[in-house]
A and B are shown apart, each in its own frame.
Chain A
Amino acid sequence: MNSLLIKDLHASVAGTEIIRGLSLEIEPGKVHAVMGPNGSGKSTLAKVLGGHPDYTVASGEVLMDGDDILGMEPDERARKGLFIAFQYPMEIPGVSNANFLRSAVQARLPEGETLDATEYYARLYQKMDLLEIDRKFTARSVNEGFSGGEKKRNEILQMAMLEPRYAILDETDSGLDIDALKIVAHGVNTLRGPGLGVLLITHYQRLLDYIVPDIVHVMVRGRIVRTGGKELALTLEEQGYDWIIKDELEEPAAV
Chain B
Amino acid sequence: MPTDTIDIDRSIGDFVYPESHEFDAGYGLTADTINYISRVKSEPEWIREFRLKALDTFLSKPMPTHWASRDLEAIIFDNIRYYLANGQRPTRSWDEVPEDVKRTFERLGIPEQERKFLAGVEAQFDSEAVYSNIKKAVGEQGVIFTGSTEGLKNHPEIFRKWFGKVIPTGDNKFSALNSAVFSGGSFIYVPPGVKVKHPLQAYFRINAENFGQFERTLIIADEGSEVMYMEGCTAPKFETATLHSAVVELVAMKGAKIQYVTVQNWSANVFNLVTKRAVAHEEAEVKWIDCNIGSRLTMQYPGVVLKGRKARGEVLSLALASHGQHQDTGAKMIHAADETTSNIISKSISVGTGRATYRGLVHVPRHLKHCKNNTECDALLINQQSRTDTYPAITVRGTGNAAQHEASVSQVSAEQIFYMQQRGLTEGQAMSLSVNGFVNDLVRQFPMEYSVELKRLIDLEMEGSVG
Q: Which residues of A contact B422 (CB under 8 A)?
A: 50, 74-75, 77-78, 83-84, 86
Contact indicator B419/A90 (Cβ below 8 Å): yes
Which one of B424, B434, B440 lies within 8 Å of A162 (CB-CB)?
B424
Contact indicator B440/A95 (Cβ below 8 Å): yes
- From B169-177, B286-294, B295-303, B410-418, give the one contacting chain A: B410-418
Which one of B414, B418, B433, B440 lies within 8 Å of A50 (CB-CB)?
B418
Given A86-B419, A95-B434, check contact A75 B440 (CB 8 Å).
Answer: no
Identify which of B414, B415, B437, B438 gathers the most chain A CB atoms within 10 Å of its CB. Answer: B437
Q: In the bound complex, what is the Cα–Cα distance between A158 and B437 (angstroms)? A: 19
Q: How far is the CB of A57 from chain B (nearest CB, A)?
A: 16
Q: How far is the CB of A110 from chain B (nearest CB, A)?
A: 13
A residues 96-122 touching B (CB-CB < 8 Å): 99-100, 103-104, 107-108
Q: How far is the CB of A95 from chain B (nearest CB, A)?
A: 4
Contact indicator A74/B416 (Cβ below 8 Å): no
Q: In the bound complex, what is the Cα–Cα distance between A27 and B238 (angstroms)? A: 57
Q: Which residues of A contact B426 (CB under 8 A)?
A: 73, 75, 107
Categorize the interface residue count of chain B.
20 to 34
> 10 shortest A-B CB distances, which residue pairs?
A94-B437, A95-B437, A90-B419, A74-B421, A94-B440, A104-B423, A107-B424, A78-B424, A75-B421, A79-B424
Q: In the bound complex, what is the Cα–Cα distance between A197 and B415 (angstroms)? A: 25
Closest to B434 in A: A92
Given A78-B424, A108-B424, check contact A95 B418 (CB 8 Å).
Answer: no
Asked if B97 CB lies within 8 Å of chain A CBs, one says no
Q: In the bound complex, what is the Cα–Cα distance between A77 and B425 (angstroms)? A: 11
Contact indicator A141/B437 (Cβ below 8 Å): yes
Asked if A53 CB lies within 8 Å of chain B CBs, one says yes
Asked if A52 CB lies within 8 Å of chain B CBs, one says yes
Q: In the bound complex, what is the Cα–Cα distance between A78 and B427 (angstroms)? A: 12
Residue ranges of B at the interface with A (Cβ–Cβ < 8 Å)? 413-416, 418-427, 429-430, 433-434, 436-441
Residue ranges of A at the interface with B (Cβ–Cβ < 8 Å)? 50-54, 73-75, 77-79, 83-84, 86, 89-95, 99-100, 103-104, 107-108, 141, 158, 162
Closest to A74 in B: B421
Selected A-B contacts with CB under 8 Å, 27 pairs? A53-B414, A74-B418, A74-B421, A75-B422, A75-B424, A75-B425, A75-B426, A75-B430, A77-B422, A78-B422, A84-B422, A90-B415, A90-B419, A92-B419, A92-B433, A93-B437, A94-B436, A94-B438, A95-B434, A95-B436, A103-B429, A103-B433, A104-B423, A107-B424, A107-B425, A108-B424, A162-B424
Contact indicator A92/B427 (Cβ below 8 Å): no
Contact indicator A92/B437 (Cβ below 8 Å): yes
Q: In the bound complex, what is the Cα–Cα distance between A95 and B444 (angstroms)? A: 12
Contact indicator A75/B427 (Cβ below 8 Å): yes
Contact indicator A73/B423 (Cβ below 8 Å): no
Closest to B426 in A: A75
Q: Which residues of B contact A94 (CB under 8 A)?
A: 434, 436-441
Closest to A93 in B: B437
Closest to A99 in B: B433
Q: Which residues of A contact B434 (CB under 8 A)?
A: 92, 94-95
Q: In the bound complex, what is the Cα–Cα distance between A170 and B231 (angstroms)? A: 51
Q: In the bound complex, what is the Cα–Cα distance between A94 and B421 (angstroms)? A: 18
Q: How far is the CB of B351 from chain A (nearest CB, A)?
A: 17
Q: Which residues of B contact A83 (CB under 8 A)?
A: 422
Q: Which residues of B contact A50 (CB under 8 A)?
A: 418, 422
Q: Which residues of B contact A158 (CB under 8 A)?
A: 423
Closest to B420 in A: A92
Given A92-B433, A95-B433, check contact A103 B425 (CB 8 Å).
Answer: yes
Given A94-B439, A95-B433, check contact A162 B420 (CB 8 Å).
Answer: no
Q: How far is the CB of B410 from chain A (nearest CB, A)?
A: 8
Q: How far is the CB of B348 from chain A (nearest CB, A)?
A: 15
Q: How far is the CB of A80 from chain B (nearest CB, A)?
A: 9
Contact indicator B421/A92 (Cβ below 8 Å): no
Q: In the bound complex, what is the Cα–Cα distance between A103 and B430 (angstroms)? A: 9
Q: In the bound complex, what is the Cα–Cα distance between A30 and B439 (angstroms)? A: 43
Which one of A79, A84, A92, A103 lies within 8 Å of B416 (CB-CB)?
A92
Contact indicator A53/B418 (Cβ below 8 Å): yes
Q: Which residues of A contact B420 (CB under 8 A)?
A: 90, 92, 100
Given A100-B433, A107-B429, check contact A78 B421 (CB 8 Å).
Answer: yes
Q: How far is the CB of A100 from chain B (nearest CB, A)?
A: 7
Contact indicator B419/A89 (Cβ below 8 Å): yes
Closest to A50 in B: B422
Q: Which residues of A contact B415 (CB under 8 A)?
A: 90
Q: Which residues of B contact A84 (CB under 8 A)?
A: 422
Q: Which residues of A contact B419 (CB under 8 A)?
A: 86, 89-90, 92
Contact indicator A104/B424 (Cβ below 8 Å): yes
Q: Which residues of B contact A51 (CB under 8 A)?
A: 421
Closest to B444 in A: A94
Closest to A168 in B: B422
Q: Which residues of A contact B441 (CB under 8 A)?
A: 94
Q: Which residues of A contact B424 (CB under 8 A)?
A: 75, 78-79, 104, 107-108, 162
Q: Which residues of B contact A78 (CB under 8 A)?
A: 421-424
Given A95-B437, A103-B433, check contact A90 B416 (CB 8 Å).
Answer: yes
Q: Which residues of B contact A75 (CB under 8 A)?
A: 421-422, 424-427, 430
Q: Which residues of B contact A103 (CB under 8 A)?
A: 425, 429, 433
Closest to A143 in B: B419
Q: In the bound complex, what is the Cα–Cα distance between A86 and B416 (angstroms)? A: 12
Closest to A161 in B: B423
Q: In the bound complex, what is the Cα–Cα distance between A103 and B429 (angstroms)? A: 9
Q: In the bound complex, what is the Cα–Cα distance between A103 and B423 (angstroms)? A: 9
Q: How far is the CB of B163 from chain A (nearest CB, A)?
A: 41
Closest to A84 in B: B422
Q: In the bound complex, what is the Cα–Cα distance between A167 and B182 (angstroms)? A: 65
Q: In the bound complex, what is the Cα–Cα distance between A93 and B441 (angstroms)? A: 10
Closest to A75 in B: B421
